[in-house]
Structure 1
Amino acid sequence: MTDYDVLRVFCGPSGGYGNELGVVRDGSLMPGRDERQTFAAKLGFSETVFVDDPERGIIDIYTPTLRLPFAGHPCVGTAWLLDLPELVTPAGVVGARQDGEFSWIEARPEWAPPRTLRQYATAAEVDGLAVPPLGEWVYAWAWEDESAGRIRARGFPGRMDERGVSRSSGAGACTGGIGEDEATGAAALLLTARLGRALNIRQGAGSQILTAPQPEGWVEVGGRVFLER
């Protein structure tokens, strides 16, 4: 089988949780879209990245069922792994930087796929939500501490065609493509653009996502990344 790395992105302060990511560093070994799609489905991660140029940072992102022009946690994880100042995706050039234990990317909200951002009155309400039936992609959130920008969030994909089968472990794992996404950079990006302020998001069972709005409509998204193998 083609060699690939496995990362966890948006990990909690203790290094746990986060969203798993597969990265094929030598995309030339599997150049065709069909074979990449088949390989991503075989791995079963929510996303798999194929690196087409490790020096320029050209990447190609796949879920188990489709190709994505941009995705948050794949860009954060791949930028950390390759240690590059930018990545080139079909959506556009993604800026990247490392700051201590956090890996950051800079992207545009319009690159993210649509999400329903649904606010609840309390974090306890978000904690008590059941996984909804098939339907819209819902990012449920509530303020934990509005003055400090702290948010409690959970992501419910609600569609098999966007997530496929996830191998992520823990309470946030998807099951058969329907369930809960443990850490969602694109949704955090959209929420930051809507609220217009820096956020510290606790998502899923214990993942952490940091964000900050930037000039001219850009948004930074950051988190901890760990290499599993």
Structure 2
Amino acid sequence: MPRRYPFVRVGVFTDHIFGGNQLAVFLAPDGPSDDEMQAIAREMNIAEITFVFASTQSDCVARVRIFTPARELPFAGHPTVGTTWVLAREGRLPAGSREVVLEEGIGPVPVRLEGDLTSPSSVWMKQRDAEFGPELTNRGAFARALALEEGDLLVQTGVELAGVESDMEWFALVGPLERLGHG
């Protein structure tokens, strides 16, 4: 027998309909399995979706799991903001709470709401500071991997491993932009 999972679809970072980053928030107290959540994310085929459960931590108002069509994420900004807004609209936050904490894969994430608490005008989250790894010493190999020449990487900056939370990526300043993909 098919199961039903209620959800709310919203545009995050916008003040008008059909704008912003799309997000589906599943309010799933008796939620789907891990495999089902991943299958739902693939089926919806938007950047991220969230599933909201009761928190396992006493200082958090809800446990939020974030999925892309490809995998689960320990943290992401727009799903955190959008999920908090939906929880406020649906009356699922403690009455009068302007500051709440969500339990996510990376741990507790503090969030602040502004405006009418039944339809917040703004939602702010606090994320950890970026972490930086070692600077890449072989700039030429890095440039070639991007179909660039080493001279396309700006000289005064390094190529550094950086990330927020658990996802680390390489960052480099490149100029001019028309060189991208023309190596």
TM-score band w.r.t. shorter chain = 0.5 to 0.7
Residues of 2 paired with 1:87 and 1:34: CA distance? 23
Q: How has the CA–CA distance of structure 1 residues 42 and 74 changed in structure 2, closer, same or farther, with 3 Å as cutoff? A: same
Q: Which has the higher contact order (CA 8 A, sep 6+)?
A: 1
Aligned residue for 1:29, secondary structure, equals coil
Residues 75-84 or 85-94, more deviating: 75-84
Residues of 1 paired with 2:174 and 2:126: CA distance? 27
Cα-Cα RMSD: 2.9
Using the size of structure 1 for normalisation, the TM-score is: 0.48
1:103 to 123, 129, 153: 123
Shift of 1:4: 1.0
In structure 2, the residue matched to 1:62 is 67
Residues of 1 paired with 2:47 and 2:80: CA distance? 13
Shift of 1:16: 6.0
What 5-or-longer segments of structure 1 have no aligned partner?
Answer: 133-229
Residues of 1 paired with 2:64 and 2:8: CA distance? 14
Shift of 1:87: 0.5
Residues of 1 paired with 2:172 and 2:124: CA distance? 25
Residues of 2 paired with 1:15 and 1:112: CA distance? 33
Q: How has the CA–CA distance of structure 1 residues 14 and 50 changed in structure 2, closer, same or farther, with 3 Å as cutoff? A: closer
In structure 2, the residue matched to 1:223 is none
In structure 2, the residue matched to 1:38 is 39
Aligned residue for 1:28, secondary structure, equals coil
Residues of 1 paired with 2:109 and 2:64: CA distance? 11
Amino acid at match of 1:113: D
Would you say the 8 A contact 2:7–2:26 is kept in 1? yes
Matched residues, number: 126
What 5-or-longer segments of structure 2 have no aligned partner?
Answer: 94-99, 116-120, 131-163
Would you say 1:5 and 2:8 are equivalent positions?
yes
Residues of 2 paired with 1:26 and 1:106: CA distance? 25
Residues of 2 paired with 1:4 and 1:93: CA distance? 23
Would you say the 8 A contact 2:5–2:27 is kept in 1? no
Using the size of structure 2 for normalisation, the TM-score is: 0.58
